[in-house]
Amino acid sequence: MKSDRSTFGLDRRSIIKAAAAASITQIASPFVITARAADEVKIGLDNPLTGVYAALGKNELIGAQLALEQINAKGGILSRKVELLVEDSTSGDAGTAVQKAGKLIERDKVNFLVGNINSALAVAMAGVSYEKGVFHVVPGGHTDPVTGANCHWNVFRVCNTTQMEANAVAGTLIKSAGKKWYYLTPDYAFGHTLQAGLEKAAAKLGGTKLGGDLTPLGTTDFSSYLIKAQAANPEVIIFLQAGDDAVNALKQAVQFGLDKKFHLAGAQQELEVLLGLPPEARIGTWVFEWYWNQPNVPHVNEFVAEVRKKSGGHVPTARTWFGYASIWTCALAAQQAKSLEPAKMAKAMQGFKLPPEVSLMPDGAFYRASQNQLIPNLYVGSAQSKGSEPEDLFKVSEVVKGIDAAGSLEDTGCKMTWPA
Amino acid sequence: MSGYGIVSSMTQLVLFNIFNGLIVGAFYALMALGLSLILNLSGVINFAHGGFLAIGGYIAYTLMPYIGFWGGLVVAPLLTAVLGLLVERVLIRRVYGRDPLYSLLLTFGLAFMFEDGTRFIWGAQSLPFQVPGWLVTPLSNQYFFLTGYRLFMVLVVAIAVMGLFLILGRTRLGIRIRAGTLDLETVSVLGVNVRVLRNMNFGLGVYLAGLAGVLAVGQLGLQPTIGASLIMPSFVAIIVGGLGSLPGTLLGGLLIGVASGITTVFFPSATEAVIYVMMAAVLLVRPRGLLGEEGRF
Amino acid sequence: MGASELNKQAPNIFVWLLLLGMPFWLPAIGGYTELGTRAVVLGLAAMSLNFLLGYTGVLSFGHAAYFGLGAYGVGMTIRYLMPSTIVGILVGTLVGTLAAAIIGPLIIRLRGVYFAMVTIAFGQVFFFIAFRWNSVTGGDDGLSGWTRLPLDFGFASIDIQHNARAFYYFVLVVFALSVGAMAWLLRSPFGRTLIAIRENEQRARFLGIPVDQHIWISWVISCCFVSVAGALYALLNNFIDPRALYWSQSGDFVIMAVLGGMRSFWGPLIGAAIFVVLQDYLSSQTENWMSFVGLFFVLVVLFFPRGVLGVIRRKVTS
């Protein structure tokens, strides 16, 4: 016993002691190691890493890290090295997200703030960044007010508005699936605006609404809603859920055989959701905001290969691209303005077109002036259980130009006031 | 598109939802029974139950390529139970006899560690869990919500419940658990090893959580927070049915399933709130719950 | 003031000195002012809960509801009614207290787990109202489009909106008033009666004390101060969403109280400070912070049987 305990000249007790001592010095000087060099440009990422949006947050983080490496390899921002400070905003606690935004801005003096996936947290964070006048990029919170009624001069958004997604898909749905729709809509602003957008777009094309239900965010059992949807006998059942709600809803709808009676479809869909579904439930007509399998678009293959290296072989999703484009937006804004002053950078980004190696889309993407909303391509198509490879789960049938789906600037309700 | 058994009348819609609610409720009951067992004998409110559920699901997912769905259904809950036995031995045991609030702090901490641990091991991405194809087809067009899988779930729950009541009614362990629930001190004086008893009882409760986990991932996306949203309805089921009564817990689970089903038809925005209204009503009118015994807790 | 009296007051003086100097020493060791503000606000919530839990012996698992009512009260007042921070706090507190007063008589007969569960039930109903009533509360997206406003006294104005330090001291003043009121109540005959009920309800009843009535008052006082904390929390974030009413938020308050020590007056504040700082620090270091926070809870249960302050207490007295 004694001999094997002291193989390395240490017994267990002293190892534990050493470990304890090490952790005490860590804890006793909690903040010292976080002091950071002042000559670096800092980007603060305040996004979910735990909770229901953790998978999406992780992908956005991978994209952000890749962008960071590329920017630093090209000499940084204004010839200064760039550092990414990552904070977990949690998936639902606005208090924590605001706290972390304040921490990044006040203590760490970040030059840029990036986040959040959760729309509520994105809006709350925008309140902080606007108040402090910090350049802020929202990578993946879709609720319309971020670049609509609540828009701010300093807040830019990469992902689409719900209105854009609805407009992009409505025509295809009417043509291919039918005109009588039943909506299953998550009961919060994201779902409401998505449904309103679809109703508006469908009405123009002669579609009708047979009924609908608002399903609470976080619903696990959709059976009672599916029973009602079946009873209405529509041609299309529209699923507007996102994330885990979408996984649960589609999984159950397919088990009930509803896919054999009706056309199942919706607006926004994500690769993360399709990956979480068993093959038979990977069905329906949807909009993707970015897709990795675009063989003819320049730079996309390189991007996919780079991401695979960082993600353990997984392809990038739209989320990875959101994170990537967000960090690049920060660097490009500084470059364009030749300054780190937020107002100058924001001015410089009005109408700015992302370079093709960042936009990674056939028609490119630009920030619409006086709204700060990125206007990219949208990918309409259908989910597939088998593609060219295991993670090729979406078949793009039409690439929509963002500007055709974005509606007029007046319609967005954004009235931007600039600092004097 | 037409010609299928279309439900038109309200009555039928309500009937469907009652039926459907029973299925949903059976699942809540399974989770609640495990919680209830532990609470009754050891006075521990196990907030880590949802974590055990998730672990059950993940173990089944991991083992599926080797032993298939059926093997996973048998093995995963057992492995989860073994983990439960260990956790009880090392940690839970230390809070018996102390203010129940410490068990709350402890199991909250465990729940954090389980959620994070599963995310660390299996990742945050929802994993696709596939049940045998013949199970996931509806049995009839009219009653399309009666899929093989859902009936199978109810069947498993029924077997588990019957097995549980057999164990409690017929085996020495079960009789001791029941006796201990009523009067632990006397049982201990009579020479029963209470430590072992509580350990086995905790393992049994966690076994049910693991089983619920395997069944849940057939219908829900498998991700680290899968158990979190199921734990409160399970507590509600226990309280509505009555603390200390396992048949009560079963009844409570079925009732809340049916109640939210019916509410979906008439007042959809109260679908989740209704179970809490129901719990408040039961507590105010009959605090011991529907089948609870007087004067306990 | 004799030496023994000074000895007794020493912990109080120590706590107040720490709190008063927070905006100076916290940034010096690498923290930031908002972190201190958050600890004080959540500390107030945990101490309010402990008025009921630690001093009356009744566990509420639904305090987040009144916390949230206070928060929505202040947010909606500023947004829809009147642009005044002070009026907002008063309205928020009033709403939370009224709700508690109305619900009180229904629930005060219940004890133990039943009381905890019925408070969850009412709390969840409030949560779902905030969650689903999109047109008024903003639903899951939260209530935005308002901010805290400078305090305007006519002759002078204090900018708590942009100056984080000024806001901290404003919060500290409200905290001091609330905590002072609770301490005074606990030292009054009424407070002694509450402790008597905690120690032995049956005996208190035999002595002719109207137990239910006392628990009702204690419940309302506790909910009143937790809604003050909720109002401050909304002002701190300039935002409020339904998560602040969810049962897990109530659970956090209970954890803070138990962590710090339920039987000591300052325990919950210490618990809240540990909770807030630990999460803030660990989650910047590692995405697996939940494991470490969870482990910390487990270790406290194993090695600090009366909460963190319980141990310090025992060492001081022994």
Per-residue model confidence (pLDDT) at position B134? 80
What's the average model confidence in pLDDT over B231-258?
90
**Nearest-Cα residue of chain C relative to residue A23:** C292
The pLDDT of residue B274 is above 80:
yes
C61: which chain B residues are within 8 Å (Cβ-Cβ)? none
Least confident residue range of A121-135, A269-283, B15-29: B15-29
Q: Do B105 and C297 touch (CB under 8 A)?
A: yes
Section A273-280 average pLDDT: 91
Q: Does A190 touch chain C (CB under 8 A)?
A: yes
CB-CB contact of C71 with C231 (8 Å): yes
Confidence category of residue B42, pLDDT binned at 50, 70, 90: confident
Subunits with 3+ C-beta pairs closer than 8 A to C: A, B
In a domain, C217, yes or no: yes
Give the closest residue to A224 by CA, choosing from A203, A248, A244, A240. A248
pLDDT confidence bin for B248, thresholds 50/70/90: very high
Least confident of A172-181, B136-145, C251-260: B136-145
| A contacts of B133 (beta carbons < 8 Å) | 280
In a domain, C41, yes or no: yes
What pLDDT sits at residue B40?
A: 87
Residue B296 falls inside a structural domain: no
Contacts (Cβ under 8 Å, ≥6 apart) of C17? none
Is B220 in the A-facing interface, judged by CB distances under 8 Å? Answer: yes
Choose the closest CB to C30 out of A31, A100, A150: A31
Range of the domain at C49: 34-246
Q: Is A312 exposed, middle or buried (0-12, 13-18, 19+ CB in 10 A)?
A: exposed
Q: How far apart are CA A197 and CA A204, in angstroms?
A: 11
With respect to residue B120, please indicate whether it lies within any of the assigned structural domains.
yes
Statement: residue A307 has pLDDT above 70: yes
Amino acid (one-letter) located at A81: K
Judge: C113–B270 Cβ closer than 8 Å, yes or no: no
- Other CB atoms within 10 A of residue B194 CB: 17
Chain B positions in Cβ-Cβ contact with residue C293 (cut-off 8 Å): 109, 112
SS3 B61: helix
Residue ranges of E strands in A323-415 = 366-368, 373-375, 377-383, 394-401
Per DSSP, helices labelled H in B171-193 are: 172-182, 184-189
**Residue B130: predicted pLDDT:** 82
pLDDT score at B64: 92
Q: Does B40 fall in a domain?
A: yes
From the list C30, C164, C241, the residue facing A106 with the nearest CB is: C164
With an 8 Å Cβ cutoff, is C31 touching chain A? Answer: yes
In which band, very low, low, confident or very high, does the pLDDT at A5 lie, cut at 50, 70 and 90?
Answer: very low
If you count residue pairs, one on B and one on C, with CB atoms under 8 Å apart, how many are there? Answer: 113
- pLDDT band with cut points at 50, 70 and 90 for residue A13: very low
Q: How many residues does chain B have?
A: 297
User: Quick one: pLDDT at residue A242?
Assistant: 87
Q: Mean pLDDT over residues A195-209, rounded? A: 88
Is the minimum CB–CB distance between B280 and chain C shorter than 8 Å? yes
Written in H, E and C, the secondary structure of chain C is CCHHHHHHHHHHHHHHHHHHHHHHHHHHCCCCHHHHHHHHHHHHHHHHHHHHHHHHCCCCCCHHHHHHHHHHHHHHHHHHHCCCHHHHHHHHHHHHHHHHHHHHHHHCCCCHHHHHHHHHHHHHHHHHHHHHCHHHHCHHHCECCCCCCCEECCCCEECCCCCHHHHHHHHHHHHHHHHHHHHHHHHCHHHHHHHHHHHCHHHHHHCCCCHHHHHHHHHHHHHHHHHHHHHHHHHHHCCECHHHHCHHHHHHHHHHHHHHCCCCCCHHHHHHHHHHHHHHHHHHHCCCHHHHHHHHHHHHHHHCCCCHHHHHHHHHHC
For the record, the structure tokens of B285 come out as 């009118």
Residues of A in contact with B224 (CB under 8 A): 54
Contact A187 C134 (CB under 8 A): yes
The amino acid sitting at C217 is I
Q: Is residue C269 part of a domain?
A: no
Task: Compute the distance between CA of residue A236 and CA of residue A353 in angstroms, rounded to an integer.
Answer: 37
Measure the CA–CA gap between C85 and C234, rounded to whole angstroms.
Answer: 11
Minimum distance, in Å, between the CA of residue A86 and any CA atom of chain C? 7
Number of separate domains in chain B? 1
Class of domain A43-160+297-375: alpha beta
Instruction: State the DSSP code for A209.
Output: E
Residue A87: pLDDT band (50, 70, 90) is: very high
Q: How far from chain centre, in Å, is Cα A211?
A: 29
For tokens 């986990």, what's the residue? Answer: B213
pLDDT at C314: 55
- Contact state of C297 with B104 under an 8 Å Cβ cutoff: no
- Stretch 103-162 of chain C: residues touching chain A, C-beta under 8 Å: 131-132, 134, 138-142, 144-145, 147, 162
Closest-approach residue (CA) in chain C for A84: C284
A49 touches chain C (CB under 8 A): yes
For A381-420, write each residue's pLDDT tens digit: 999 998 889 999 999 999 999 999 988 999 889 999 998 7
B219, B223, B225: residue with CB nearest A252 = B219
Please determine, for residue A37, whether its predicted confidence score (pLDDT) is greater than 70. Answer: no
Contact between residue B97 and residue B41 where contact means Cβ atoms under 8 Å apart: no
Name the residue with higher pLDDT: B7 or A100: A100
Interface A-B, measured as beta-carbon pairs within 8 A, has a size of 124
Burial A410-420 (b: 16+ CB within 10 A, else e): eebebebeeee
CB contact under 8 A, C238 and A30: no
Q: A43-160+297-375 and A163-288 share one CATH topology? A: yes
Closest of C112, B219, C57, B83 to residue A255, by C-alpha:
B219
Judge: C125–B280 Cβ closer than 8 Å, yes or no: yes
- On chain B, the residues whose CB falls within 8 A of the CB of A278 are 128-131
Q: What integer best gives the mean pLDDT of chain A?
A: 88
Backbone angles phi, psi at A133, to 5 degrees: 65, 45
The pLDDT of residue B253:
93
Instruction: Quote the pLDDT of residue C307.
Output: 80
Average pLDDT over residues B126-148: 78
Q: Which two tokens stand for residue B267?
A: 């007042």
Is B290 within a domain? no
Could A32 and C30 be called an inter-chain contact, meaning their C-beta atoms sit closer than 8 Å? yes
Q: How many domains does chain C have?
A: 1
CA distance C255 to C196: 24
By the CB < 8 Å criterion, does A338 face chain B?
Answer: no
Q: CA nearest C279 in A: which residue?
A: A96
Q: Find the mean pLDDT for residues A329-352.
A: 95
Residue of B nearest to A49 (CA): B124
What one-character DSSP code corresponds to residue B4?
S
More confident residue, C2 or A79: A79
Domain of residue B84: give its range.
10-124+147-285
The structure tokens listed for A120 are 């509520």
Query: Does pLDDT of B67 surpass 70?
Result: yes
pLDDT band at B21; cut points 50, 70, 90: confident
> How far off is chain A from C188, nearest CA to CA, in Å?
36
The DSSP letter of residue A135 is E
The reply to whether B105 touches chain C by the CB within 8 Å rule is yes
Chain A closest CA to C278's CA: distance in Å? Answer: 10
| pLDDT at residue A264 tops 90 | yes
Strand order in the sheet with A394-401: A208-215, A180-186, A236-239, A263-268, A285-288, A377-383, A394-401
- On chain A, the residues whose CB falls within 8 A of the CB of B122 are none
- Chain A residue whose CA is closest to C32: A107
pLDDT, tens digit only, all 318 positions of chain C: 566 777 778 888 999 999 999 999 998 888 899 999 999 999 999 999 999 999 999 999 999 999 999 999 999 999 999 999 999 999 999 999 999 999 999 999 888 888 998 999 999 999 999 988 888 888 888 888 899 998 888 788 888 888 889 999 999 999 999 999 999 999 999 999 999 999 998 899 999 999 999 999 999 999 999 999 999 999 999 999 898 999 999 999 999 999 999 888 999 999 999 999 999 999 988 889 999 999 999 999 998 878 887 766 555 544
The answer to whether position B275 is within a domain reads yes
Architecture of domain A163-288: 3-Layer(aba) Sandwich (3.40)
**Tens-place pLDDT, residues B214-239:** 998 888 889 998 888 888 899 999 99
Give residue A3's pLDDT: 39
- Contact check, Cβ <8 Å, B297/C113: yes
Contacts of C19 (CB under 8 A, 6+ apart): C40, C172, C175
pLDDT in tens, A43-55: 999 999 998 899 9
Domain annotation covers residue B252: yes
How many CA within 13 A on the CB side of residue B51? 21
Q: What is the pTM of this model?
A: 0.89
Torsion sign (Cα): B107, B108, B114, B117: negative
- Give the number of residues written for chain A: 420
Of the listed ranges A83-87, A292-296, B14-18, B176-180, the one predicted with least confidence = B14-18
> Residues of C with CB below 8 A from A100's CB?
280, 283
Query: How far is Cα A374 from Cα A352, in angstroms, rounded to an integer?
Result: 9
Does the beta carbon of A127 lie under 8 angstroms from any beta carbon of chain C? yes
Q: Calculate Rg over the CA atoms of chain B.
A: 20
Domain boundaries, chain A: 1-35, 43-160+297-375, 163-288
